[in-house]
Structure 1
């Protein structure tokens, strides 16, 4: 899925005070031999994050248009386009979002603009959380839940301020929202950088190559939380002529609340695994590789979202299964 010679992009997100800028400064000062261009997104008219970023050779661009959203996406595209004209001056791009931002439009930027898409690769969405305050924040701040939901990698920071029992509760709470992200623990964001950058974690194809059963063993997480996850499975193959209109309909009707979707689909009369993922209304999928003889041809789809109507989505999904009667509602 990733093109050769594209520039990798890592998105750093996390709620206010979690340690994003600390992690960013670590990346910029570590002796790793890489050169980074940095895009800092601020909330409000006066930017301060740019002043908190350490002095380095990296290019720092500041966006003061409030939370990154659809209106700011154009600014992000313009900044990236400007950067790409000087791509020989850096090896990768870091985007640090405000603590109040929804990271989805950032991720979507690297797919909706063809020029950006052809020259960059979204490496991972990394969410930093404050282990001491997460459980209190998460019930009051929907942004904190959504940042967890979008994450490919979650860095649980400030673990020195909590007990092992409290840390276990934090991890369990995170898993209720996002059952697929990779979790790492840290004090003051002291974590091997190869755990957060250069991971190619947004590429579901690659993740599945490394862990073929990545989506197999996640159970439904049904709670009264703002953001929850659930999975749909089928041992029978799906009909592509039903599946694609259905998943597009889901994205169209529930895309605002569908934060992330990841799936492996087994189609009837198709010897290849089809891998698909979504961010809000944006869907992307392709044939990954042939099913191996020892593999069970099992369809597995994980949805993470805000109050998604599981019964409606599951009903439509069942109608995509070969042999099922009924028309798509």
Structure 2
């Protein structure tokens, strides 16, 4: 029997830096042949575009398979298994499969799928890597003080459910074989110590944390963990082991088309204001800037916005500006669109 192909599941909250980490892996692949499964939340396949448009040698369109109809854990039978089987059926099989989950996905149902007969004999989960926005956690967001939140929940009958954000944060950490504390360049040493303490309270025994900036960790650190996670499901606790999967109706997303952007700084200010005034978790997309031959990527989590040019507009390609807005269920789409469009 041929050796099983290892697969790494990269999970983490919105804006934690998963795509940046994958780009770094592609650029420093050490001759490995990777296949990527990018699971996008929303109608605009931004993450896949960032990989296929990166111009990195060895990163071809056929190596990136996108599942764009929601979280893997919701559609694992319909989408994920056929995708894995298609990769395994290729004559030039990859050395490693890398799966980037949606920031809203629970990792455990995906790991369970690797135990299914269709793939169990041919693949193994080398490891689940949870990427954490350490700077955000140090600022008190995403369950910064779990004990205080839990105490308040137990003392107040009107707070008898944990927030979806806290639950996701906890489940991603509890399923992890390694946790990457990303964006440490945005914080001081005292803040990093605080984050390590916060994160460690969720982790299973023996799970290591690794600090990074811009997701720049090598394949020798991230790959080759040998966890065989599909055989170790019982040690990975989940709120949803009773069969009730996470209700992704807690979250909403929509695509916002924009005209050409003359003043990007003004747009950024409007986005920051919209994030402040509405229940927005994440904004990401592409901008058409008149007079510029290249497309600009814009990504934001909370009030922090990142922009950079990723590639030239292609010949015959329609130049357009489009954003994906992701937030809690019940987003006021009209108000948000008006606020961002100006």
Distance 1:196 1:145 in 2: 21
Q: 1:68, CA displacement in angstroms?
A: 1.6
Task: For CA contacts below 8 A with separation 6 or more, give which structure has more relative contact order.
Answer: 2
Cα gap change, 1:200 to 1:37, in 2 (>3 Å): same
Q: How does 1:21-40 map to 2 (within 5 A)?
A: 21-40=19-38
SS in 1 for 2:72: coil
Residues 45-104 of structure 1, C-alpha deviations (whole Å, 9 max, x = no match): 332111111341361111112112243333100011111111524211111011111111
Distance 1:203 1:72 in 2: 17
What count of residue pairs does the alignment treat as equivalent?
215
Distance 1:92 1:62 in 2: 17
Contact 1:19 1:128 in 2 (8 A): yes
Residues 248-285 of structure 1, C-alpha deviations (whole Å, 9 max, x = no match): xx997x4659xxxxxxxxxxxxxxxxxxxxxxxxxxxx
* 1:127 alignment counterpart: 130
* 1:264 alignment counterpart: none
Give the alignment partner of residue 52 of structure 1, picking from 42, 50, 53.
50
- TM-score, normalised via structure 2 length: 0.57
Contact 1:41 1:97 in 2 (8 A): yes
SS in 1 for 2:192: helix
Contact 2:9 2:98 in 1 (8 A): yes
Contact 1:152 1:202 in 2 (8 A): no
Q: 1:25, CA displacement in angstroms?
A: 0.5
Q: How does 1:302-321 map to 2 (within 5 A)?
A: none
Residues 277-327 of structure 1, C-alpha deviations (whole Å, 9 max, x = no match): xxxxxxxxxxxxxxxxxxxxxxxxxxxxxxxxxxxxxxxxxxxxxxxxxxx
* 2:12 alignment counterpart: 14
* 1:279 alignment counterpart: none
Structure 1 residue runs of 5 or longer lacking an equivalent are 207-214, 216-226, 230-249, 258-329
Superposition RMSD in Å: 2.9
Distance 1:203 1:62 in 2: 23
Give the alignment partner of residue 201 of structure 1, picking from 212, 218, 227.
227
Deviation larger for 121-130 or 185-194 = 185-194
SS in 2 for 1:146: helix
Residues 173-202 of structure 1, C-alpha deviations (whole Å, 9 max, x = no match): 111111432211111122232111121134
Give the alignment partner of residue 186 of structure 2, picking from 158, 161, 172.
161
SS in 2 for 1:165: helix
Distance 1:198 1:228 in 2: 23
Cα gap change, 1:67 to 1:179, in 2 (>3 Å): same
SS in 1 for 2:92: helix
